[in-house]
Structure formats: structure tokens, C-alpha cells
């Protein structure tokens, strides 16, 4: 099988975005099946951003669909011209992934997003800071191996994303949640209440009641002094 580019990054993407088996992914990416299982558990290739093999031209969408329908199907990668893939002389590409020093800050960024923007999905967090869903889930459930030292920190200040990217992600997540809430309200027949409506329905405090006796009812009122 032709060796594909960025096998671990491709495996991360296939695990998160397809229904392929670990065996199919290991065969396609030329990785040991235990290594693929480790990637899915977050123990291997932690912090590597997934690489879309369709966008990279390494495989067609039809091939992935065939593999999802048939668990025994071995996906065939596209064949490339090695001369075209070779980098040109005199041009050096920078590192594709986040530097190691910044990768160590990812748990802090994830914890910050989970705490301050719970409406943001795991898939969105994964795309924003370049992590895996098992890592996000372990931080949500406080089972991450370094949970005791995690300090929730704005990912922008950590240099993991731009403020524009973060704002756009939060806005998109908020709009999606609003649509979901509206759909649920419509299905249950209970429209969402505005803050003004909810406040208007709060009953006013009742005045204390005075208990009367027969003596107090028939007792003549005292003349004004």
C-alpha cells in the first residue's frame, strides 16, 4: 500500500469523523492497530490536529463510504506522483503542528472553554485548539492525569488560537444552542419565556393576615383623642 502523508494526523481525523474500524484505519494509515486504539483513547499522538485525507487528495469520499458500509473493505488511497509531492529546493515549510511548549497548555485552554462556554461542543473545541475528544472528555469528567494542576486559561492568551476564531466559535455555538432550545420548546408546546415574562409572573408578597376574635369584632372602636 502506498504510504500516505501524516499517518497519525490522518488516523485522528478518521477516528473522529468516520465509522471505520480500528483495523481499517490501521491498514490505511500503515499503523499498528494498538497504536490506532491508543490514538482513540488519547494515549498516543495527543494534541495532533486531525488531517482530512479527502481535502488532502489522499482518498475519495466514495472510498470512505465503502469502508463504512463494509467493515472488511480495505480502503485504497489515491496514487501520487512522488516528484510532485517532494518539497521544492530552497523552500522550507514551518512546523505543521503546535510546538511542544504550547501543547502542554492545551488542557488549561480546554478547561477554560468548558467552564466559560459549555455550549461549545467537543468537536468545536477539538478543531479550535487541536486536540482529541477523549482528552476533552477526561477534562470534563475531571479524570485527566494532570487535572490537579490544570489552570483554566484563555486559549487566546496561550497563543493556541486568535480572538477572532474564538469569538466566531462561541457565536456559532450559541446560535446552535438557541435553535435547539427553540426546537425543544416547539415540540413540548412550551415556548421560551423572556426575562420580562418570567419576572411578571412572580407573585407579589402577600400582606400578613390579622386573626380576629369575637371580642375584637364587636368591641366598639376607641374615640380619637
Q: Where are the domains of the chain?
A: 7-80, 100-190
Residues 153-209 have pLDDT tens digits of 998 888 888 888 888 888 998 898 888 888 888 877 766 554 444 434 434 444 444
CA distances (Å), origin 213, targets 2, 132, 149: 99, 74, 68
CA distances (Å), origin 18, targets 44, 68, 79: 19, 7, 22
Give the cell for residue 130: 487541536
Average pLDDT of the chain is 75
Stated length of the chain: 225
Q: Identify the H or E element spanning 216.
A: helix 214-218
pTM: 0.42
Phi and psi angles of residue 223, each rounded to the nearest 5 degrees, phi first: -65, 150
Of 14-23, 60-69, 81-90, the range with the lowest mean pLDDT is: 81-90
Q: How many angstroms separate the CA atoms of 129 and 110, rounded?
A: 8
Residues 81-115 have pLDDT tens digits of 444 444 444 444 433 345 545 667 889 989 999 99
DSSP character for 148? G
Mapped onto helix, strand or coil, the DSSP state of residue 197 is helix
Amino acid at each position: 500500500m502506498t504510504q500516505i502523508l501524516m499517518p497519525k494526523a490522518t488516523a485522528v481525523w478518521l477516528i473522529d469523523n468516520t465509522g471505520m474500524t480500528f483495523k481499517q484505519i490501521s491498514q490505511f494509515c500503515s499503523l499498528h492497530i494498538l497504536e490506532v486504539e491508543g490514538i482513540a483513547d488519547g494515549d498516543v499522538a495527543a494534541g495532533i490536529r486531525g488531517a482530512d485525507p479527502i481535502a488532502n487528495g489522499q482518498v475519495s469520499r466514495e472510498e470512505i463510504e465503502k469502508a463504512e458500509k463494509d467493515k472488511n473493505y480495505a480502503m485504497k488511497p489515491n496514487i501520487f506522483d512522488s516528484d510532485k509531492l517532494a518539497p521544492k529546493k530552497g523552500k522550507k515549510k514551518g512546523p505543521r503542528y503546535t510546538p511542544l511548549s504550547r501543547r502542554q497548555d492545551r488542557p488549561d485552554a480546554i478547561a477554560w472553554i468548558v467552564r466559560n462556554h459549555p455550549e461549545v461542543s467537543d468537536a468545536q473545541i477539538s478543531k479550535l485548539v487541536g486536540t482529541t475528544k477523549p482528552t476533552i472528555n477526561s477534562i470534563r469528567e475531571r479524570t485527566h492525569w494532570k487535572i490537579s494542576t490544570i489552570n483554566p486559561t484563555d486559549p487566546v492568551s496561550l497563543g493556541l488560537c486568535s480572538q477572532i476564531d474564538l469569538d466566531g466559535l462561541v457565536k456559532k455555538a450559541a446560535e446552535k444552542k438557541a435553535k435547539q432550545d427553540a426546537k425543544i420548546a416547539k415540540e413540548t408546546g412550551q415556548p421560551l419565556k423572556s426575562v420580562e415574562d418570567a419576572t411578571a409572573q412572580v407573585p407579589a408578597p402577600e400582606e400578613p393576615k390579622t386573626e380576629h376574635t369575637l371580642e375584637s369584632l364587636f368591641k366598639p372602636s376607641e374615640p380619637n383623642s
